[in-house]
Chain A
Amino acid sequence: MKLKSNIATSETGFIFNPSTGDSFSANAVGMEIISLLKKNKPLNEIKKHILDKYNVDEAVFEKDYDDYIAQLQFYNLIDTM
């Protein structure tokens, strides 16, 4: 799972795709995942990071993560391999 390389992000949750001109905003957890994806972190590291930091069950997060990746795909922010 890889974020498209040209996607620009800001600390405040703003995401910009220069090739389409679309801009997006993400909530806190959404933004953390995007920055980790940008650094090419694997899923287990992303998961550990979120579970350590936020009050959430592993099962819940896994389900939400899959759903979030589906959203990123829908918005064309991820390279489908």
Chain B
Amino acid sequence: MDKLRYERPSIKQMNAGLMNQYGLKTEYAPVLDIDGVPVKKIISEYGSPVFVISERQLRRNYQNAVRAFKTRYPKVQFAWSYKTNYLDSVCRVFHQEGSWAEVVSRFEYQKALRNGVPGKKIVFNGPDKREEDIITAIKNDSLLHIDHFDELYLTLELAEKLNKKPRVAIRVNMDTGIYPMWDRFGFNYENGQAWNAINKIMASGKLEFTGLHTHIGTFMLVTSAYAAAASKLCDLAYNFRIKFNKNIEYIDIGGGFPSTNTLKGSYLQGVDTVPSIDEFAEAITNTIVNYGFKPEDLPTLILETGRALVDDAAFLLGTVLATKRLSDGRRATIMDFGVNLLFTSYWYDHEISPAQEFTQNSEDMVVYGPLCMNIDVVRENINLPLLQKGDNVVVHKVGAYNMTQWQQFITMRPKVILIDMQRNVHIIRETETLDYITELEKVPQHLTETNL
């Protein structure tokens, strides 16, 4: 007689409070493939854990965002926010789609150049531009977004030295009704600092004043904040036009649109609470169109959208290392990935799906990573099927900030693969090796022998 399929014994308290109106099962429908490529096949070929990026979803997100803005406004340009995900292949997908580059350091700037972005299509943001960076940017005719007066004076000095007229914008910070207000970057609008900076630039005659930039925050949940920001930048542009009889070429409204991840501590799923790109586009373009510019004077609208374009295009596949029970009776599941790879689990309750079929039985558990560190918690509380050692899982929406803020801590970083439009699989970043990690280390002569 054939034996029955075994599932580890489990008991669960029935509690009306656990049910919510969205149903219990949302988190444990199994995910067996990504873009038609079986999860088990990916893991057997590329190992576990492994990051998987869908080129199809990257392009779909980009085209949808462009559509949302271009159907509402005549002049739109996206600039890919490198810090959100600067794997070359990801950047190049966006560049192929027509996106410029937005960078905040020399390292990112050089990466953008190597990815084939012409200097004049690089937006250079951030408080950390060294003298040699500014020189490079001026020579390449990049868009220098000035963050503070020290940088403004340095740029003036270098413009004179190089005998070139750099194209500059200023970053503006402002009250958009959002708390906390991001006032550490750029020049303040309300206290007149931004207007003052513009006047200094114009008085110098040495810089080409081209644009106004702001980035009001990240994972913004209200569209009205963007309407407020756009209105304040329009006010500066309008006054600029009156005083200097010239048009501002562009308004750069930054990034900050949320992805559909669920923020920690929020009861509702992200998908149910987050405004769509279309709603943000409506708020921003409405404000600019109705501000009072003549049609031919309308500035180009630049967007530095990051997470909303990339988050849901990437997955992290992993494996259960062990399950155990904690002193208070809770179930704990230990995965082969932790906060070292999934930095965003500090902010999000990442959705995790099993990668194989299960019975309908489930249990509440805490999900830990493999690090020997107390902080390594991927989910504090999640209801999943009865996972056991060796089972595979899929973590959703991990494309933003993880592949840039991941840490080489305790373990090495795994492969990243890309599934292209034809469902071909490409390794776009190899597994790190001991030699790669230690390549830059130097051992002094007296430490070469350990003699144990």
Chain A proximity mask over B411-439: 1 for CB below 8 Å, otherwise 0 = 00000000000000000000000000000
Alpha-carbon gap, A73 to B14, bound state (A): 16
Question: In chain B, what residue has the closest Cβ to A56?
Answer: B6
B9 partner residues in chain A, CB cutoff 8 A = 26-27, 29-30, 32-33, 64-65, 68
| Interface, chain B (partner A; CB < 8 A) | 3-14, 325, 328-329, 359, 361, 386
Question: In whole Å, how far is A74's beta carbon from the nearest beta carbon of chain B?
Answer: 3
25 contacts between A and B (CB under 8 A): A15-B11, A24-B11, A24-B12, A26-B10, A26-B11, A27-B359, A27-B361, A28-B7, A30-B10, A34-B11, A54-B5, A55-B4, A55-B6, A56-B6, A64-B8, A67-B325, A68-B9, A68-B10, A70-B325, A70-B329, A72-B11, A73-B329, A74-B328, A75-B13, A77-B11
Contact A24 B13 (CB under 8 A): yes
Contacts of B6 in A (CB 8 A): 29, 54-56, 61
**A56 vs B6: C-alpha distance in the bound complex, in angstroms?**
6
Q: Are B361 and A24 interface neighbours, CB within 8 A?
A: no
Chain B contact residues: helix, strand, loop or mixed: loop
Is there a chain B Cβ closer than 8 Å to A71's Cβ? yes
B5 close to A71 (CB less than 8 A): no
A11 at the interface (CB under 8 A from B): no
CA distance A61 to B8 in the complex (A): 8
How many angstroms from the CA of A48 to the CA of B258 in the assembled complex? 55
The digit string for A19-48, where 1 denotes a CB below 8 A from any CB of B, is 000111111111011100000000000000
Nearest neighbor of A74 in chain B, beta-carbon distance: B329
Which 6 A-B pairs rank lowest in CB-CB distance, beginning with the nearest? A74-B329, A30-B9, A56-B6, A55-B3, A54-B6, A68-B9
- Cα distance, A74 to B8, chains bound together (Å): 17
B13 surroundings in chain A (CB, below 8 A):
22-24, 75
**Closest CB of chain B to A38's CB: distance in Å?**
14
Q: Are A53 and B3 in contact (CB under 8 A)?
A: yes
A61 nearest CB across to chain B (Å): 8
Q: Cα distance A64–B322 when bound, in Å? A: 12
Give CA–CA (A53, B5) in the complex, Å: 9
CA gap between A37 and B389 in the complex, in Å: 27
Chain B residues positioned under 8 Å from A56 (CB to CB):
6
